[in-house]
Structure formats: C-alpha cells, structure tokens
Structure 1
Amino acid sequence: MDGRDKLLECLDRLQAHYDIDRWHWREDTSPFDVCAGAVLVQHTAWANVEKAVAALHAAGISDVEALARLGEAELAGLIRPAGTPAVKARRLKALAALVMEHGGFQGLFRLPGGELRGLLLSTHGIGPETADVIMLYAARHAVIVHDAYTARLCRRIGVGPEGGGYDAWQRWLDARLPGGLAYRWRGHAAIVVHCKETCRAKPRCAACPLRDLCDYGAREAATDALRPG
C-alpha cells in the first residue's frame, strides 16, 4: 500500500470510528467563534480556549462588531484563561480590523481563496496554520490544515514528505487528498479527535483503529512480543 492509499484508508477508518460531530467546530459554528478560537488556541489547550470564548460571550462579545468596539485592555482581561492575554488581544483586534475593513465576515470571505489567505497572512499574529483553519472552518474553502496532530499521525503511520516545513507538508497532503470541502473538514476533524483520544503524545495503541496500518504500532507490537510474559 503506497502512502496515498494508506493515508486515505486511515482517514476513512477514523471518520467511521469517531463521532466527528463532537468536534468543537461544527457546520453551525459562527465565523466569529471559529476565528476567535483559531487565535486563542495558539500555544494553549482547547479547554482554556473554551473558557476564554465563554467569557467573551458572557460579556456580550459574540460578533466582530462588538470585538472591534472593545478596548484592548478589557479584551485581554476577558481572554486571560487562554494565556498571553495581551498578545492575543492585539492579534484579535488586528483580525477584527481586517474583517471590518471588508464590511464583515461575508465580505471578507467572498474574496478568492488566494487573496483571502494573503490578507490573513499579512495580519498581525496570523501564520499559515491559523490562516488555514480560518479558511477551512470559517470561510469554507477546501484547504489543507497541517498541524501538530496531522504531523503526529503521519509520522506514526509512516507517510509524508521527506523533511520540509508547513508549505511542503500542505502541498504533499493537497496532492493526495480528495478536494471536497466536506471531506477535508471532516478528515482534519477526525485526525484531531483521534490524536486527542487515542494517538496521544503517549499513545493508546491497544485501542487504535489504525494499528494494523501504523508503523509505530507495529514496532510497539514487536517490542511487546519480545517482553517476558
């Protein structure tokens, strides 16, 4: 089985195995919540993001217009649970300014994909991964998100490009995955759920639906077989 076939088989199994609708960004998640979450999750756990977003909502900040009106210091106080509040407040304000310059999310997301991604990448605090999360989950462009979870899964099953950074991985994945929005949305969500629940930093290989396809799992099984009973 070549790398493409193995990757596709893994994604099919993951989507069948997990309840992807438990993923925190669903089809009815607002663009505001996706964009806020994409910035707030930088260098922190999702549980902390949920607390910060809940604090925003409790303060009546649930759309980009309210975020744009809010002072940076007050915003930092609300998002403190997500860590580095001053840094992330500045990034959220920069993103809000970009959205408002285009008349709201609808106007911004109406732009062609390449132009939209370029604008996101030129915005303070938004790198390739954050930009692509916004592109996929908020703007609904069928882009590839390459994150730490995708890298972990690919390394363990033994597929991927030789070396290379974010762009190289994105090109490799883009050339091998079906191009539909629903597939890429659910495929990425399945990887994240799998890596949170099973393929953790310390993996739970015995519970893994991919063990027979996984190079790491095969090595672990061989090691287990050599251990004294």
Structure 2
Amino acid sequence: MRSNRIFNLYRILISSLGSQHWWPADSPFEVIIGAILTQNTNWKNVEISINNLKKANLLSPNSIFNCSINDLKSYIKPSGFYRVKSDYLKYFVKEFIEHYDGDMSRLMEIESSKLRNWLLSIKGIGEETADSILLYALDRSIFVVDAYTKRIFLRHNLINKDADYKEIQSLVEETLPNDPKILGEFHALLVKVGKNFCKKKNPLCRECPIFIFPT
C-alpha cells in the first residue's frame, strides 16, 4: 500500500539524515516573511534578505507597511524577483493589519481552513506558501507539497505524473501522524534529498539514502 511506503520513506529519511530543525527563524512573523521571499530562489539568498530587514528593524507588520517600497526592494534584492516580492510583502502586511491588527496571537486563534482561505486570497500567496505559513509559523498539522516532493514521489512510483497538489498532500496527511513536527520534518527531509541527491538533472541515485527504497 502507498500509505505503508510513505511511512517507511519517512522512517528511512529520519534515520539516515536526522532532524533538519526547519524552519530557521526568530519569530513566527519572520517565518511568514521567509515563506514569501523563498519563492523561486534558494534559502541562502533569503537569509541575506532577512538579515537586511533585521538590521533595518523591518521585521514587524507595521514597520514593513510604513517602509518605502524602494527601500524595501533594496533590502530584499538578494532574494530575486525583488520588485514583485516587495509588492507581495506589502499586500500581506496590509491585509494582516486590516483584518488582524498585525497581531500574530490573533492569527493563532483562527481555524486552519478559514486561515488558509484568507492567506490564499492575498496576492502572491499560493498553496505552497500558504501551507508553509500554516505549518511552520502557526504550528498547524498540514503538509507542504513542493517540487522536490513531487519529483521524489514520482520517481519512486508513489504518485502518477498528473497527481495534483491536494492529492499528494492528502496522501501524506492520511498516512503520517497528525503532528506538525512530523509533517514539517518530513517536508524538510524531502527538500534535503531533492537538493542534494534527487536532482532534476543528473540525480545522484546511488548516493541517496533512499536508493534501496522500492519503486
């Protein structure tokens, strides 16, 4: 059964690679900013941008809201696509302040499906970004599906090539315990495998910890 194979995959990865301690951040709001900035770039570039924002004391909803768009662009330029991402950050903090006074504790009180719908209504936030925010910033039991997950699952015949986001997400959520720490760990482990071994081109299959995992 696919569910047994998903669980075994998690077990092999956590045993081989250990805990990934993801998402690195000093606050839930910083996680949200990172989730928006990491779109279409690597995390090292995001870290530079976040450090720039920290130095400028711009890691709060109101400070980003009041920051000039040109200054914001310069701070997050290392993340790439900085023009559109600066708009996305502005859109998010505007909605956050208008609906929840920029208060993270108020977000924590909102039911997950309602919160997800609200996030998805904000320009620049798609399913992967919304679920990253829910899982890593708000500690909700939801699995994040990304390109690494799809590639690994497809290569190991866990999904069909036309499987959509919801199908893959449900497959994991119905298999693993309803625990944000485990779901986050599994996502982080898959990211590590995707980056280091199961590459889009020239994958390092024989070096991969799941090379012997049945297909």
Same fold by TM-score greater than 0.5 = yes
* TM-score where L is the length of structure 2: 0.91
Provide, for residues 88-124 of structure 1, a one-character-per-residue CA deviation record: whole Å limited to 9, x for no partner: 0110111112222303111123200011001000011
Letter matched to residue 83 of structure 2: A
| 2:203 aligned residue | 203
Q: 5+ unaligned residues in a row in structure 1: which ranges?
A: 216-229
- Is 2:21–2:185's contact at 8 Å kept on the other side of the alignment? no
Measured at CA, do residues 22 and 113 of structure 1 come closer, stay the same or move farther in structure 2, by a change above 3 Å? closer
Q: How many residues end up aligned between the 2 structures?
A: 212
Q: Is the 8 A contact 2:141 2:183 kept in 1?
A: yes
Kept in 1, the 8 Å contact 2:197–2:205? The answer is yes
Equivalents in 2 of 1:19, 1:98: separation in Å? 38
Distance 1:179 1:108, change over 3 A: same
TM-score (norm 1): 0.86
Alignment CA distance shift 1:73-1:61 (3 Å): same
> Displacement of 1:209 after TM fit?
1.7
Root mean square deviation, CA, Å: 1.7
Q: Percent identity?
A: 30
Larger Rg over CA atoms: 1
Q: Structure 2 stretches of 5 or more lacking a match?
A: none
Equivalent residue of 1:143, what SS? coil
Moved over 3 A (4+): none
Structure 2 residue corresponding to 1:67, chosen from 64, 69, 88: 64
Q: CA deviation at 1:51?
A: 1.4
Equivalent residue, structure 1, for 2:179? 180
Report the CA distance between 1:214 and its aligned residue: 4.3
The superposition leaves residues 172-212 of structure 1 with CA deviations (integer Å, 9 ceiling, x where unpaired) of: 33222321122111111111122222222232222222111
1:4 aligns with: 3
1:75–1:86: structure 2 CA closer, same or farther, 3 Å change rule?
A: same
Question: How far 1:19 moved relative to its partner?
Answer: 3.7
C-alpha distance after superposition, 1:135-172 (max 9, x if no partner): 00001110011111111110121102562322232223
Relative to 1, partners in 2 of residues 1:66 and 1:19: Cα closer, same or farther, differing over 3 Å?
farther
On the 8 A contact 2:6/2:172 being kept in 1, the answer is no
